[in-house]
């Protein structure tokens, strides 16, 4: 997925609009945000459930709410940002790139995702 300049601009614009929407409206009250289809179908929380509400909380500086709605984001977002950075800086920092794309990180992500899915469906949010 090589991104051209136009695509980056379009994705950036869409991102800004979405951020504004998530800032202005609370997904747990406003009726027009899409509910998680996995939750709708199965009744169980998927690893991504609550991300919209968490984003709303974060945009309002509510860190407690951020963790409450989807705690995996606390680890997941920095992880994704670090991997994205390592991919962009592959030429300059090849060792950082191979470290972030190693099987340790992949295994960590896989275990974290599975663990989080099981955990959050057994125990209620811990904060």
Least CB distance to another protein at residue 61 (A): 21
Identify which of residues 12 and 35 has a Cβ nearer to another protein in the complex. 35
Least CB distance to another protein at residue 67 (A): 14
Contact, 75 vs 112, CB < 8 A? yes
Least CB distance to another protein at residue 41 (A): 9
Least CB distance to another protein at residue 50 (A): 10
Buried b (16+ CB within 10 A) or exposed e, 36-71: beeeeeeeebbbbbbbbbbbbbbeeeeeebbbbbbb
Cβ partners under 8 Å of residue 99, min gap 6: 86, 105
Identify which of residues 9 and 114 has a Cβ nearer to another protein in the complex. 114
Contact, 83 vs 96, CB < 8 A? no
Q: Contact residues for another protein (CB under 8 A)?
A: 1, 31-38, 46-48, 51, 70, 72-73, 76-77, 79-80, 83-84, 87, 100-103, 105-107, 109-110, 113-114
Measured CA angle at 123 (ends 120, 127), to 5 deg: 85
């Amino acid at each position: 997925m090589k991104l051209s300049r136009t695509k980056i601009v379009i994705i950036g614009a869409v991102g800004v609009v979405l951020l504004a929407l998530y800032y202005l409206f609370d997904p747990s009250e406003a009726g027009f945000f899409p509910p998680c289809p996995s939750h709708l179908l199965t009744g169980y929380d998927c690893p991504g459930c609550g991300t919209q509400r968490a984003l709303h909380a974060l945009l309002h500086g509510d860190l407690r709410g951020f963790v409450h709605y989807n705690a995996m984001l606390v680890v997941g977002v920095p992880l994704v940002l670090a991997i994205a950075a390592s991919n962009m800086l592959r030429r300059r920092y090849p060792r950082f790139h191979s470290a972030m794309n190693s099987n340790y990180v992949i295994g960590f992500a896989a275990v974290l995702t599975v663990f989080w899915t099981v955990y959050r469906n057994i125990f209620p949010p811990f904060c």
